[in-house]
Structures are given as structure tokens and as C-alpha cells.
Amino acid sequence: MSTIRTTAQRGAALAAALAALHTPHAAMADAAPTLEEIVVTASYRDTSLRDTPASISVMSSELITERAAQHLENILNAAPNVTFASAASRSRFVQVRGIGDLEQYYDPKYYPSVGLMLDELELGDSANAGMLFDVAQVEVLRGPQGTRYGSSAHAGMINIRSKRPTEHFEGELSGGVGNYDSYNLGLVLSGPLGDTLRSRVAVQQNRSDGYIDNKALGRDDSNDFDELTARGRLLWTPTDNADYELSAFYFDADNGHDAWSVDNNRNTYTDQPGHDSQETVAVSGSGNWVLGDALRAEAVLSYIDTDLSQSYDVDWVSAALCTEYTCSGGYDTAREIFHRDRERAVADLRLLGGPSTLAAGEGRYVLGLYANHSDEDFDYAYPSVWYGDFSSSSDYQTDRYALYGEYEYALGERLTLTGGLRYERFEDDYDNSNGFDSDNSEDLWNAELSAKYDLDDDSMVYITLARGAKPGGVNTNASANEPFMSPLFQDYIADNLVFDDETLLSTEVGLKTQQLDGRLSLNLALFYADRDNAQLENWMWDGDAGLWIGYLDSSSDATSYGAELEARFAATENIELFANLGWLETEVDSIDTFDLDVNDFVTRDGRDQAKSPNYQYNVGTRITFTDALSARLEVEGQDDSYFGYYHNGQLDSYDLVNASLQWSAGAFAVTLWGRNLGDEDYAVHGLYFAVDPRDEVGAWSNNTYTQLGEPRTYGLEVRYAF
């Protein structure tokens, strides 16, 4: 509980200081300001955030602009109990309430615990493409979303909504520059193509040298960003009772991957810096039909093709470093190279019946069918002087079919009950060039039951019980390498060649209220979650065989509980204060792992889940000085946390300061922005092993190594609307 007090004290202190600095004595006599209504689009029907019985954060285009956010990683810190891990050029592995993937190494993962949607398109395992240019809002849903999304949103869902085509012609030309030789250029065109046809096109190029100096090669761009994003939307409304939309999405990233340093700083010594590239082409089509006064149908079809390629310098050093220092054993020329070609086709059909709003005694329903076929071709290579050249290839196919339904009924003017159920059939088929193959099939059940009670016109309380299921499978990396392991590891891995399906039971109680004539908005959620057969990422090092073996361990259960509080207060017409606070307690019952320091298997009891800080906070203010000039100041941070189970290494706590100044006049708008203004070094991922060969620092001793997040960055963004 001390972490709650610490977070609350920080938030209260900052809010009080800001109010004292900026609020005149006569502030309360001003015309009463009000907060804008927020609409959530991630459920079956668009609903007000205040009326949605769930813990949801909605981040607006205003926040994206004021933070100069290019990618999801630039805004997710503002959402309570949401963390992310990198292990690549972008932080694309998301955890909600401590549940989520930490990285992707060898095994294919078609079902990350936290889903990612872009305009009805399932990005899921291609989250590098979570760019924010021309985005209207980002919705973060916490807890199982099993009825709506099934195993695609086992622990939560991130829903990105781009801006829709407009009824009148408009456009925007934007550009920005920043430190680290960063720049971006963007163009948006939107408007009618006829009486019933509207379109929108948005294209942006984003470039930066990144934040690493490669001392071996004398380069400062070995960890760079080079990203092109293009979206097109075509909306056709031939009648009052039907509309159709065709969307296209293209993303091309050719980023560097040179993020790890033997000195644990931003200076690397690799002579073969890696890359992290992604090319995604996707199309989707949807239709909406009004079939009667209280009946309509919806259909969404989508196809996505993604090529992912990643490599890195395995030993992190160069010959030059081992000339300057004495290196035990010299240095290797090894690289690990991963190439994935993914395709996914999805169809989602549903029928929605009942009125748009419910009166006492009325109900409404949703019935739907879902199908998902995915295919991944994976090529792996490990060229090395020490270990020789190794390569393999594999094919992994999954099929998911679901039948789902939801019914919402108003028992009275104040009390509404909602129940949902989803049956999902999961099948997968895997084979690789080493002669290993497997297939699996499972029946999964997801369910949700919630009750919402309106205390008055401005406040409601709710309770939600949700069950999420995530399929099990085969640990392909461990299974394929079992014949090459030493006997001790062969004996251990025999019980971990497969992992079971995971069941997540979540109970959430919440309060949502608006007070002081709409000037104060409070959203509070308390939750408790129980994971049965928790799928936990684990690693072990077989030194005799020279093998790193990664696998999902489902032998333990896990529990978590905590709270989320999001508050906004319009102190005056010109000053808005906000606070987003998260508290999280987690425990893994018992997990066996190989401890590198004792060189033996150990059991860890009562361990915190990885990437589960006890507290997170984001507090600050937005100030409007004049009609043309405004500013934003915020502080955010989180507690320390473990980053794995095979060691006791931790990511340190951190506190970051962000600020921006916005000016607009007519068609022009300018944003001067800065993130991490204190230039604090903070970690977004960690590893624990022996990699440094230098005798001066204790050659080949186990150490914690961290991938650092964004340093102090700042820049200028200019937009011209026409």
C-alpha cells in the first residue's frame, strides 16, 4: 500500500503546485468549463466512456499532437497498468495488468495476450506498424475482451482509430524536425468524390538516426528509424440504409537494430549491426445494412501480408574492441537472422438487434460468426565462426472459428445487465526442416457478465466478471533442439515440450462519475485476476551444448489485483488538470527455472510477474493562455520490475518529464515539444547472461543488460490545413 501513497502524493503535490501557479483567486467565478464527452468505438456499438462498464483509457488526437507521438510507444505510458517491452527497434510487446508477451525470439506467436486493432484490421503480431499519423484516438481496454475479440484480446486490446473521410474537402500538410537528425513529412487529403462517395488518404515518412553511437564503425545511425506509413479509406453510402467502406494500409520500415551495449549505455561496439524491418500490405472491406427499425447487419473482411526481418550481432563486440582490450576467447562473428512471412485472412459477420438506447424492460443483442486463417513461413539462420553455420525453416498455420453472442437488458431505469459468450475452435499445424512437426486443436470458451447501475445522471457503478481463454501448443524451439541438449536439460524439458491453454478469470468493480457541473471526471476500477496454467516466458542456457532454449511454461498459476484511477478536472476555462494512476500486485505461485549464477535448476515461489511494476503514474496540466497559445506539462513514471524468471534482474523505476507548447493562427499550427526533458536513462527491456569477453571487467561473467528507452528528445512540428 505504500506504493499507492507514494503515487498519490506525487500526483497531489504536482496538481497543487500547478493550481497554485496558474489558477487566479477568481478562477471559480469564471464561466463554468466542461469536459468533452469521450466515445468508445471498440465495443459492438459506439458508447460514451462514462456508460461503458469497463476500465478503458482513451487517448485523443490532441494528446498525440502535443506529445509529437509517432508510435504507440510514445503515448502508452499515459495509460495506467499498461507497460511495454522492446527487444526490437520499437516497443511492440505490450503488457496489460502484467499479462502479455515480453519478446519474440524463435517460436511463432499468433495470439499475443494483448491485441492490436487498426480500423477493424487485426495487426496483432505486427505492432511495429502502430504508427499514429492521422489517428483520431487510441483506446486501451484492460482485462479479458473475450466475447468481442476472443483469444486475440486475452488480457486487453489496443484499438487505433484513424480519422474518417469528411463530407467537405480538406487537407493537411505537416512536417517536423528534431534532435538526432529526426524529421517527418506528411500529407492528408479528404473529401467527397461524389454525392455518395467520400475518401481519405494519409501518407507520412518518418526518419531519425536513433539514439546509439556505434564506436566500432564510427556511426550514429546504426539504430535508426526509417518508416513510411500510408492509409486510404473509401466510404460509399448509396442509400440511407446501407454503407460500405474499403480501406488499404501500407507500412514499410527499414529500421536498425543495434540497441545492446556491453557497457550498458548508448555506446555499442558491434561490427555487424542488425536491422528490424517490416513491410505490411493490408486491405479490408466492411458493410453495414439497416434491415429494420431495430435490426442491422455488419460484415468485415480483411487480409494482411507482413514480411518481418530482424537480425543482430550476437557477441555485441568487434575485433577492434578485442585489440584495445584483452578478450578471453577473442570474439565471434555470429549473427542471428530471423525472417517471417505472415499472411492472415479474417471474416467477421454479426447481426445487431434492439434499440440504440434501452428503456426499462427493453433488451438488445448481438450474434456473430468469426473465421481467421493465418500462415507464417519462418527462416532462421545463425552463421558463426565458433559454432558453424546453422539454419532452419518452418511453416506454422492456425485456424480459428468462433460463434459469439451478447445480450443486454435494462431491468429498470437505472440497472442494466449484459451477458456474453464466445465459443472458439482453435487449430494449428507446425513443421520444420529439422523433421519436427506437430498439430493441436482446442475448444476455447470466453464469457462475460456485467451489471451497471446509474446512481444518477452523472454517475454509475458496475461490476464485470470475465473469462478469457488462450490456446496452448508446442514449444517448437525446445522440441526441435531437444536431441542436441545435454542429458540434464533433456530430462528437464521433457515436461515442457508443450504448454497448456491458459484461463484468465477477472473480476472488476468500477465507478465512473462527472461532478461539479461536468468539470470533474473520475473513472475508478478495482480488479482481481486469477490465471490458471499461466503461460510464462522462460529461458535456460545449456552451456555444454551451447544452446539458449526459450519456451512457454504453463506449470504454474498466477494472481494479480490492483486499481486504476483516471481523473480530469477543468479548474478554469483555461486550465485542465489530469492524473492517471495505476497500482498492481502480482504473484506467480511457483516456477522452476535454470539459474545461471548457481548453474542449476531452482524453484521460485511467490514471484512477481515480469514487467509488472507496483505503481505507474501520469499527472500534469494543459493550459490555454489565449485562443492561439496553449501548453502541456506532465510527469510520468513507474516502479521497478522483474524482466524475467531465469534470474533476479530488475528494470529500475523511473520518472520522466514531458512538455509542449502549441501555437495556432488560421490554417497554421506549430508545436514545440520535448520528451524525457530530464534525460533520464530508463530501460524498456532486459537480459541477463554472460556476453562481455573483456578480462578487465571480468570476462564472461553474468550481468544484467538493459535496452534503454528514448533519451531527451525535442523538436518542432508544423501543420498547414487547407
Q: Which amino acid is at 663?
A: W
Q: Is the pLDDT of residue 3 over 60?
A: no
* Residue 7: pLDDT over 60: no
Distance CA 93, CA 107 (A): 15
Q: Helix, strand, or coil here: 14?
A: helix
Question: Residue 492: which H helix or E strand, with range?
Answer: helix 487-493
Check whether 20 has a pLDDT greater than 60: no
Average pLDDT, the chain: 91
Contact 37, 490 (CB under 8 A): no
Nearest to 96 by CA among 708, 619, 611: 611
Mean pLDDT of 412-424: 96
In this model, does residue 508 exceed pLDDT 60?
yes
Tens of pLDDT, residues 575-618 = 999 999 999 999 999 999 999 888 899 999 999 999 999 999 99
Pick from 578, 636, 682: nearest CA to 264: 682
- Checking if the pLDDT of 9 tops 90, the result is no
Q: CATH code at 546?
A: 2.40.170.20
For residue 71, the 8-state DSSP code is B
CB 677 within 8 A of CB 645: no
pLDDT per position as a tens digit, 455-503: 999 999 999 999 999 999 888 888 878 888 999 999 999 888 889 999 9
Q: How far apart are CA 619 and CA 19, in angstroms?
A: 13
Strand 82-85 and strand 156-162: pairing? unpaired
Nearest-angstrom CA–CA distance, 492 and 593? 10
Amino acid at 561: Y
Predicted confidence at residue 382, as pLDDT, reads 85
- DSSP, collapsed to helix, strand or coil, labels residue 434 as coil
d(CA 339, CA 277): 9
How far, in Å, CA of 180 to CA of 90, rounded?
16
Q: Whole-angstrom distance between the N-terminal and C-terminal Cα of the chain?
A: 52
C-alpha cell at position 347: 471474416
* Mean pLDDT of all residues in 392-399: 91
Give kind and range of the element (H or E) at residue 160: strand 156-162
pLDDT of residue 238: 97
> What is the pLDDT averaged over residues 413-426?
96
pLDDT at 41 (0 to 100): 83
How would residue 57 be classed by pLDDT, with cut points 50, 70 and 90?
very high
d(C-alpha 401, C-alpha 427), whole Å: 9
The gap from C-alpha 569 to its chain's centroid, in whole angstroms, comes to 27
Query: What mean pLDDT is predicted for residues 302-311?
Result: 95
Q: Which pLDDT belongs to residue 333?
A: 80
Alpha carbon distances (Å) from 5 to 370, 562, 707: 45, 14, 30
Which pLDDT band, with edges at 50, 70 and 90, does 28 fall under? very low
Asked whether the predicted pLDDT for residue 648 surpasses 90, the reply is: no
Model pTM score: 0.92
Q: How many domains does the chain have?
A: 1
534-564 per-position pLDDT tens digit: 999 999 988 888 788 889 999 999 999 999 9
Residues in the chain: 722
C-alpha cell recorded at residue 322: 578485442
Above 50 in pLDDT, residue 15? no
The residue range of the domain holding 484 is 2-721
pLDDT over threshold 80, residue 108: no
Lowest mean pLDDT among 43-47, 50-54, 164-168, 200-204: 43-47
